[in-house]
Structures are given as C-alpha cells and as structure tokens.
Structure 1
Amino acid sequence: MNSPPDLPQPADPSPLKPVWLPEPGHETVWSHLLGSSRGLAIAQAARLHPGPLLVVCQDARSVQHLDDELHFYLGENNTVPLLPFPDWESLPYDAFSPHPDIISERLLTLYRLPELKQGIVLVAATTLQHRLVPPAYVSGHTFLLETGQTLKIEAFRPRLSQAGYHAVAQVVEPGEYAIRGGLVDVYPVGATTPYRLDLFGDTIESIRVFDPDTQRSGDRLTAMRLLPAREAPLNAEAIQRFRQSYRVEFEGDPQKSTLYREVSKGAAPAGIEYYLPLFFETTATLFDYLPDSTLCVLEDGLTNSMETFWRDTGERYRVLRTDPERPILSPARLFLEPEVLQSALDGYQRIRLSVMTTDGEQAKDSDIHFATRLPPVLPVNPKADVPHLALFDWLNTFEGRVLVVAETAGRREVLRRLLFDHGFEPVACDNWQAFLDGDMRLALTDAGLEKGLLLDTPHLAVVTEPQLYGERAAQRRRRRESARDLSAIIRDLAELHLNDPVVHENHGVGRYRGLQMLDVGDGPTEFLTLEYQDGDKLYVPVTDLARISRYTGTHPDQAPLHKLGGDAWEKAKRRAREKAWDAAVELLEVQALRASRPGHAFPTRDEHYEVFSSAFPFEETPDQARVIEEVLADMESARPMDRLVCG
C-alpha cells in the first residue's frame, strides 16, 4: 500500500474546517471521529473535493446511520447530492426480486454517476461486491419525452415493455404504466411521482405530475426522462443472448427449467437478477460508473465483511447448485472476490475511517486526529422526581452552544415545554446550518439523528434523543404511506377474480367476467365486463375502477344479480338511505345528549408521558401514531370521549 505524501498535519483539526485530503493513489487515516462527527467530516470533504465521494460502509445498518448523519449536516438545500446505492435486500441466489423502489434508486444512481461532478454515493461493502449491468445498458435504454414530440402509442407500448415497464390498470409504483386512449400514465424509475402524458393525436400535448392515490394532475413539465425499469433487459436481443448463454452454462434440457421458459416468453421471473451475466457479453462493477476524480471513504472492518459475505455465498452455492429446475451461476460470475475489490479500491485516493471509541486512545503520527469528544450520555430516570435532571445539570455546566435534536416535531414541542418549565429558553431552529450560522445559546430542531456531537473548536454540542432515552428500534419503511382507505374500494384489477360479485354504484350487483379491449372511437381501451340479470353486459372503462366496490353481503355464490335498467337497485338504495337516516337521527340524539354533559379534561402531556412513550422500543406504524394522537386529543378535551380501539 502506498504511503501518503509527507505533508504537515493541521493542528487540532475540526470536522467543521477544511480537511486534508489524500493525493491520488494514496490513503489517509482519519481517527477520533466520535459521535456523528464522521458524518460532519464527510459532508465537509464532499464540499471541498472536486469530484464525487464513494463512501463504503460495513453493512446496511451502518449505511442507514451515516445516511441520517449526512442528511442532517448537508441540509435539504445543499449543492452536494446524496446518492444511495441500496442493496437488493436478498440473500445470494434467492428466488425473489428486489422491491421496485430499490431498483428505482439503484438505476437512478447508475444513470447519474458517470457525469457526477460532486456528490456522495453511499454503499455497503457487500453491495459493492455485486457485478452490475454495463453502463451502455443504462444509457442505451434511457429516453427523453418532451411536449410537442410525436409519440405513436402502437410503437410506445412495446418500447415500454422492453424497457421493463409493465401495464396495470392504475399506476402506483415505479416501473408501471397505463394507457387509456389519449392518456398515458407512467411511473418512471428514479422519479418521486408518476407522470401523465396527454396526447392530441400522435403529439404529446402536455406532461403533468399526478398523485397516484387521488389521480389528480399537478404541475406541468416540459420533458420527462424514462430509465429502464429493471436491471435485467428483456428485449429480443437480450432474450436470445440469455437462451444461448444458458445452454452453454448449464447441462441438460433447458426446457425443463421454469426460469428458461419464462425468460423465453419475455417474462421476468422472480430472482432474475442473479442471472445478469447471461444477458450481457460482459458485466460491470460500480467502479465502471465512477469518474476518475472519485475519492473513496472506507470504514474500518470492510475486509472482514467482504470475506464473510464471500464465504457465506460459497456455502449457499454448494447447497443450492444441484436444483435442476433452477441451476445457479458460480459466485465468481456474480460477485467480486475480496482481493479483487480491494485492488480496485487501491487505485483511488482513499480516506480510511479509524474506529476509535474512547477519548484515551492514541492515534499514529500519520493519522489525522480530529478534535472531537464523546457526546455525553444524559439518561432520563422515570422514577426520579426530576426525570431529566442529568440533562438540566449538563446544560447548566456546559459553556458552549447546544442544539437539541428531537425525532419529530411533536416530540420537539414536548422538549421545548419541558426546558421552559425548568428555566431554559430554547430557540426554534430550522436545521443544523441555521444553528451554525446563528448565535443562539440553546436551540431545538427535529431530525432523524441517532448520535450526538461534541466539538472543542468551536465549542458546541448536538444532543439527540438516544442520549436521553436510549436507542429505539426504528423500522425503516421504503414505501410511502397512502392517504386512502384501501379497504373501501377495489384499487387494482389484481384484486378482482373471474366471476366475483361486484357492486357498481349506479347499476347494482353484477358479476365480473374479465377484461375486454374495445375501440369506441378513441383508440383501443380496456374495459371491465360485468354481467347482470338475463345475461345483460355492462362495459366499464378501467379508468372508472373507483365506481366498482366489493360485494360484502351474503356468500358470493348466493349474490343476487340486478337487472340493468330496472328499479330494484334504486329501491334497495332508497331503503338503505332511509335506514341510514333513521340510524343517523338516533345517533345524533345520543351524541347531542352526550355532548351536553361535561367531561373530564386530563392534563396535557408532560415529561412523565414523554419518558413513558420513549421507553417503547419500536417505531409506531402510521395507523398506531394517528390513533395515539386522536386518543390523546380526546382525553385532553372537555368533551366526553366515545372511542373504541381494536388491535
């Protein structure tokens, strides 16, 4: 390994100040980065370095913690992009594919990397060992759509399919599209929202973002970019190469393999990602996408992580290789050996983050020894008269500036009231940069930061909730929350089965008889076929899927069919409205009587409640958090509470 050039080390270097960066082909060791100071130092290095940073962590958990730190110290409006390159989140040779959101993030990062002038790429060491699709695949299967451009639907549909997009009734996830006459909905990989193309003839008249839950269109755009929707190509050329490579790689009759038959039909079977080498003449690695100006930042312990992964992969290969239905490729075809990966890293300028856990450890003379200290642990004692006494005593004795970071805005307000009640005057602060630029002695903000920070120059500290309440087992959710009640409607055609009884809001109960393509003068469009009494048929455009709901009456086999054009459905709805009216009047009388009686308003939440809720070791689900807030609001109100909570 090359030694770094003999340059003077800065005196008492701070993660906040310009840091010494290594020359190409050399390695520098950064030590004594305690708390979240490693995230701060990397953020500052990214601003200074004229090229991207590749930050390699031991595992996915370390990636997530560092991602939180970088988001906090870079801020939302920073000029340094943070590009995650997530793992597939599956074991080698697993027979299922990654979530579409994972594929979306990976392909967007691969697309941006070759032209990236500055930024941070976060990756786990084991993810870096995976062989990837070549850069020519990503660039060659990406295309731009602009308003005013000619777009022929009959040619666009197969192009989307070849790029890995699949047709659905309603677009909700990356990699999906829906065509309804002159409207084309598509959710591009790498995008945060889907787009709606409005065609006038064969011309793109407008491009808008839209909400997949409400289907409402939003802002107009002049152009949109479509990346490939999966990492395994399924055009005719790629399928032919797969078939040829498969026959060369594996012995026996390929037609006995379900995988071979599915790919031959143009389908993407689960786990196809572990057969990427069969689709390409040569595969690539992440290094093939990186500019020459890349600076690698490496955590300690990477060698052990890579060797463990390589050993475990070899063991899985020995166990699974004998399956004739699903033969697998050797580890060397899919992954980089630890020695090969280390050799590739050695060609870049590198910073190694040395693990130091206490203030007393001594660094080598060649290290950059940062002037940071271990953030204090200020445990809350729920049984004490003043549970937060350790925090208050520390704030009274600490001579520098302090930023207290709460996990959410609600918890921030609880801490603000708590500090005010004990004689402190915290100031609300938007983010880390606002605190750094200001002069407030004590400030409060909210962010997902786990570890605190303690610096000597300048003399300041960041205090996080885990320093007070201990670590919480946060459940990371990749998919966004939905604002709709999915149990009340049929959202996707996949929820319908042939001959299911369904209810049309205007025509009553019928039976679903499948999909049918009809041309009603605006191009071929998909319709749901509903059969009613006497065999009458009703054709409902898939765009009106929200008008169809599940039948929840008797057993589906005994569901009554209404007659199209008859009055039975209207009579049934009228009787239901009358019964609902009678029930509503009765409920309103009961509610009015209850509301006229005063209830007991419990005191608002205080530090004891905060200590109690912080002891819960898991992150609440969205529904749990909503119900908790509603129950607390009811209890703090003088109105009597009428609520039943069922688990």
Structure 2
Amino acid sequence: MEEFLERLAASGYERVSQVTTRGQFAVRGGIVDLYSWQTSLPFRLEFFGDQIESLREFDIDTQTSVRDLRSIDILLNQGAAVSSTPGRSGDRPSLIEDQSGNVRDYVRERDLIIDVEPDGISNAHIQISEGWIETGPEDFSGAFQDCELGEFGAGDLVLAEAKRAQFVERLKEWRANNARIVIYFQTEGEIERFREIMVGTVEGVGFVEGTLARGFSFPAANLVILSAAELFGRFAVHPRRLLRLRRAERHRAQIDFSELTEGDLVVHLEHGIGRFLELTKVGRARPPGATESTDGPAVRSYKDEQQEVLAIEFADEAKLYVPLEQAYLVSRYVGAGKKSPPLSSLGDGKWARAKIKAAASIFDYAGKMLTVQAERQMQPGYAFTPDTKWQAEFERSFPFRETPDQMKAIIDTKIDMERPRPMDRLICGDVGFGKTEVAVRAAFKAVMEGKQVAVLAPTTVLAQQHFEVFRQRMLEYPVRIEMLSRFRSHSEQKKVLQLLREGGVDIVIGTHRLISGDLVFKDIGLVVIDEEQRFGVLHKEKFKELFKLVDVLTLSATPIPRTLYLSLVGVKDMSTIETPPLNRLPVETVVSAYDERIVRAAIDRELERQGQVFFLHNRVASIERVRERIVHLCPQARVEIGHGQMDADELEAVMARFIAGKTDVLVCTTIIESGLDIPNANTIIIDRADQFGLADLYQLRGRVGRAEHKAYAYLLLPREMMTVGAARKRISAIKQYSSLGAGFRIAMRDLEIRGAGSILGTAQSGHILAVGFDLYCQLLKQAVAQLKGQKAGLRLDVDVRLDFVVTNEAEFIAPPTKPSGFPAAAKTPVPERIPAFIPVAYVSDPAMRIRSYREIAEITSREQLERLRRDWRDRFGAFPPAVDSLFALVEIKLAAAESGVSRVEVRERKVMLTRHGDFILVAGKFPRLVGSKIDQHLPEIVELIKKL
C-alpha cells in the first residue's frame, strides 16, 4: 500500500484530507480515495495490509460509495522516481525511466485517434523532445499516418440562442454545402414544438430524442450535429447529475472549523457568544486531588498529555478550551445584519436568560403564524379544476427538463390552486433557477379557467423582463398579456385599465401601479408578487387588503437557509428551488493585485465577444473618477455609473440601458439587483475585494455566469495584501470553490441569512442577533413541533456519565496518575475502561474529525444512526473498538430519550437513571450491571432502559 501511495505522489497526484477534484488522493487508515484523471467518478480502494479487499466508485458530493467494481485503470507515469536533473522541477516525476518506445507501439487497429488542437500538441512535442524524450515530434505524428480518416476538425457552433432568423440562414448555408443535419431533443414535446415554430424550414433535417449539451460540426464528414439546448437557449439536466444532486440534498455540507479564521464569532450552546482563536493542542486537565507524580520516569505528567481543542475567547479575555469530541456544541455565529453582539461572560447567567427570552418570543411568534395559517384555511376561495389538455401541452412545450425541486414547486403550487381555500405560497430560489416558470404555469392554469392574473414587480426593469418572458412562453396561445408601467404612455395605460375591467386582458404585469385605486379587475384569480421584501410596508398592507380571497404566489430571489426552511415547515407554505441550471460553466476566478493592464485586458476580451462587464467599486465618493479612468483605458466602451444614492428613476433607467445592451461597462456599487437576469454580462471586476466577506464575494460572483458563455470574476487587491491576512484567505477560498454548488459549502449561513429578515420580520431579528441563527432555528423548530403536538427531532438532550467509559483519546492513552501521598508500596490496578471516541489513527484530519463528532451529535433517530454507521464504514473503513463504543453511547441516548430518561449515570456498576428529576428504582434500589466483561456493559444499559 505504501509503495502504491508513493507512486501516486510521484505521478503528480496531490494528497489531501478529502478528495474533491481530479488528480487528488486521500488516505484514511486502510481506505484510499483516488480521483484519476481519466474517470468520471473517483475510486475508493479498501486495503487489508497490502491486499485490496474491495474497489468502489463514490460520489464526489456525498462522499459515499455508489457502485462496486471488479477492476480499475489508473493513469500513472512509467516511473515513480523523482527527477533531480538541474533546471527541472524538483518534485516532477521522470516521464520515462527504463522503458522506451513510440506511440505507434500502443495504437491498436480498433482505436480511434482524435488529435485535439494539433498545432498546440506539436509545440508541446518540440518542448518535450528537448531533453525529456529521445524521439521527436515527427515520430509521434508518424504513428497516425496509416489512420484511414486522417485529419479533420470538430468545432463548436456559434449559434445565438432563440434567434430563428439566424438559425434559418445557417440552415441554408449547410444545405447549400449538402451537409447532413441532425438535431437532438430532450423530449417528443420539444420535437413537436420545434416543428410548429419552424414549419416549412426543416425539411431534410433529422430529429433524434436524446441528451446532448452542445452541438458541433465535422467538416471532413460534412456533418452538423445540433442540440435543442442551443436552439431554445435552454440547457438540459443530465439524469445522472440529477441523481447526484438528490444525494447531495440529503448530505448538504455545513461550514466547518477549517473554514473559520481567527477572530470569527461562534456560539457555544452552553456558554454563549465567543470569538474563535485557533485549533490547538493543550495539556490534559488534572483531576481534582491529583498532583504530578515523581515516582519515576515511566509515568507521564499531565502537561505532556496533549489533546486537540478549539480555543474560544469570551468577555474579559476569558478562554475556554473545547475538546474536539464536544465541538458539536459550537457553531458559527450569524446574526441578523452587520451589527456584532458583545461577547458573553462565562458563568454570569446572561446567556441562559437570553436563550429563555428568545425561546419565549419564538414560541409566541410560531403560535401567531400557525393561527394565521388556520384562519386562512377557514376562508372560502376558488378551487381550480385539475389540469386541462392545453395545460399539459403548454408544459410539454417548455424546452427544458425540470429540476426535481422546481417540479415539486410546480406540483405544490397547482395542488394549492385546486384547493377551496386561498393559496399563499412562497417560492424561493436564485436568479435563473426556474422560479418564473412556476409562476408562468400557474398563470396559464388560471387563464385557462377564465380568470385574470396580476404579476407585481418592485421595479419597472424587472416588470419589463417578466413581460418579455410571459409573452414569449405564451406566444402560440390565445392569451393577452399587457404591462402597466411608466414605460407606457398615459393613453396606453388608460386603454389597458379599461380592458382589465371588461375582461379583455388575461395577464397584466406591472409595478405598484397595479395596486392603485383606479385599477379594477373583472375576475381576478391569481396574483404573483416578485421580490415581496423589496416593497414597502404600506404596499404589503395593501396587498393583504386587495388580495385576501385571491390565490397569491410570492417569488423571492433571496435564498432561504435550509435550516430555516425546515424550521418553518408546517407554518408557511414554502417551496425552495436550490438546484442550479446544469451544464453551466463554473465562473473562472482570477485573484490579482490591482493592475490597469489586467482591467483593460478583461474588458477588451469581454467586449470582443459582444458581452458586458460589471466593474464593482463600492465607494460612491470616488466612483466618478473610476468611470473616467475606465473610459481612458477602454475608449471604445460605453461606460455608465449605478449606485444607491442616485435618484430611483435615474438608477432604473441606467439598469434598463444596461439590460438592453446599450451600455458596455457598468461601474457600480453592490446595488447590482439580485432579481435581474442579465445573461450577456459575463465578466465582473471587483475592486478592493479585500473589503468584502466571503459570502458577499460569492454572491457578487454569482451575478455572472450563464450556460452558453464562460464567465470571469476578477478579484483585485492592493499589492501589499496579496500574500498575507484574513482577506487573502477569503479570496483563496472563493477561488477554490468555483463549483456552482459551493454556495451551500461556504456561504449557506452568511449569504442566505438575508432571507431571514424578509420571512421572519424585523421583530425576530433581535433574537437572531442575541442567540445566533443556528440556535434560533433550533428553538423555532422546537416551538413549531410543540404547538403541533409533534416530536421536535432536535439533538438528544440526555446527560450520560459512565465511570468505565473514556471519551478522550489523550486520557485513554495516558490514564490518570495516582493522587499525591498514595502509599508507594500499594499496587492498586488501574480499573479497566472502554474507549469511546474517534481515534486520530481512524480519522486523522482534525476538521474532518470535528465534522464527524457533529454528525454523531445531531443524530435524533435510529434510522439516522444506521445511515451514519453505513456512511462511516464506507468512508473510513472498519470500526475500531472506540468508534463501536461511541455508537453504543448514542444508542443509550436514543433509548433514554424514548423512555423520558434525562440522565444516565453509572458508578461502580450502580446504574442511576433520572426521569423528571427523580431517580428510577427497581425493587426499591438502584439496578446494577451484572455482565462479567466490561464490553457487555453498554448493551446491558440499553436493554435496562428499554425495559422501563
């Protein structure tokens, strides 16, 4: 096994604590995870000594195995020796050690040779041949001279999305060259839709039902392959990727302590708000009455017994060292805004009072919400009929395979509409995740039943975007859609108002103009409110008054934390769409010192491909100077300014021009609107990126990056900050997490807390500030469950103290020394004890060990326990006795919680169980453990509790 690991390292594979990308490997005891360069999924090899016991593929998102394998191929270099030739990288392996040969020796008759970018490969051959390999590039290319096909090109198709005229012209060109044309569609419905739209222009074109992300051409074979994705401007979800997303949904990663930096605020469940200092090692605490022993060198002193701890600072510079096995008590602090709370004082009782006060307020809040829900269910409303044939046909015409959570949101919405009570559902999800399609289908369902629909947006620009989307989707159907905004003249608005009264308009889209007194509907059945939190309080009260008995669907681009969502289940009708559009290219992140040459090159490159640029400069006082500088650097660019201190109408006009493509570069503050969909803006340059938090950077970078274009984010720092400081760490993290799902790993709490204010209201913000977001959500979930008469499903609150169990590795390795003054002649044996912890040898990475302790602490059911057992067995290998005992302790807690036992204590085999503050006696006395072997005691306690 060691030789294999050395070979991996010598071949350029990077050793990490957890495999996340190709070219990495990780070792955990006898488990080796490896992501080979040529495979779609990583491998998991389980060794016993030098023998491989099993081979498995595992999922990179969930880190769990998905399939057993009989054999695997791994790309390694021929030799494992490290090159020491002067002038070469010291850690780069020699490519050829003792063997020599030509590529021709490895080419078989049945092999297809694809030469990608032959010019680039030829240049690389020349460089390699200068000292690395004896044979030159002419020998390499000679290997392919006997290939039948020879050289051909395969290029991407540059086809602007949804532009039919351009497509028809390209079609004519291909036909003129007698090219064979084939188009791939996701569904039969897409093919029918395409035939209807392109009637009379697609003769001789082949249609295939299947999955293809992008089209390409083979000029040598005179073949053109297209995908419906490019024709419709939509991109499909690959079924295998969907499966991975579903698994990832169940294993949503949390922020761990490896991502905390010095000075970050944390919450200790028992002691309050503190400041994280470091992950360190300290000497084991001395038991009461014990002193250092001087009987001989064989006995270790307490200060030599090191254990890993989290160092946390509280008020008055008091420090608390939290052992890793108790790390689950600590979570990152997230409040309700930028205000930081004071540090808690250890032992003064204020933290306990704050928790009690917050719990009382949350209980009252949850009660009011449940009352409102009950009242709404009592009100009469309109029950829509089940879907019609037209509805099914309309939904089939959607040229995009719905993601699972998008489909669930659609189904939930339609079920609500078909109930005889007014709907009030909230749909949460980021821009481009498919919220609008949920609203479009709901609106179509209402219109098919003769009802009118109103769509409210907070800004004219957003209203215009919705108008275009609704009109495009319903183009082939007899649905009249109008817009009311200041983009329409007074006479046009007057005409729309009249048609609304008469029932001549089916769907009206607009801003707060829709809730003015002169607007009357003939028969309104559905109201869609986009970005409700951006409307004022008076507008919201008006909504409630006007649409009390009408179905209401609210859309929000503010992501909701999953923890908050689960806490509110059963209180609000809410759907979250968390799956990003797939086949979207990750944003390429460049970190650099501020350099005007980089700024100019980034803008020029984007403009060359007819794109647009955000230049983020978050200081209004100097923003005009920055605009002038960019105009000087890029005189061909049309540059405008946008910031929050501008007049609202002026800012809206600026944004409208940018969306319309009339502006090339928008120099702006963080005013960039979260709800706007600007697919043509695919470069963002962030000046002074060091002044933003990790979550802010992630959010801002998310403003660019569409499926059909590679997007770029430039994070510019002052030169002196390029190598040091917390800002550099944040920048490195944002660069590392370029994947689209990374938001849930690095910014779930920081970024998504934005949703708490708009959903919970400002009255609850003070309690979030006082106790932190995580604890707030726990208390809210508990309150909701209690009010509904259900089990809360929170962490098991059972105090377990067993004198024969050691939960600290340092203490188990070095048992306590005897108290001072103990007679030297006495030979009292150290009592036998059971280890119950995660050994360093089993999980060596501290951050991963913390996550593992958190996972085991959050178990609330036997199903979760068994799932975690399988997961750990798969990821870390066979359990050592200490881990078996750790799971046994959880079984004791589960059994105790089910029996109402709050404390389990064992002293010298005497079992003391506490329920409702009283000891539980059996036949008038404490029960005793009777097993002759110590490893029988834990299951014996479980059985004893179950019999109560």
TM-score category (smaller protein): 0.3 to 0.5
TM, length-normalised to structure 1: 0.40
Q: Which protein has the larger Cα radius of gyration, Structure 1 or Structure 2?
A: 2
TM, length-normalised to structure 2: 0.29
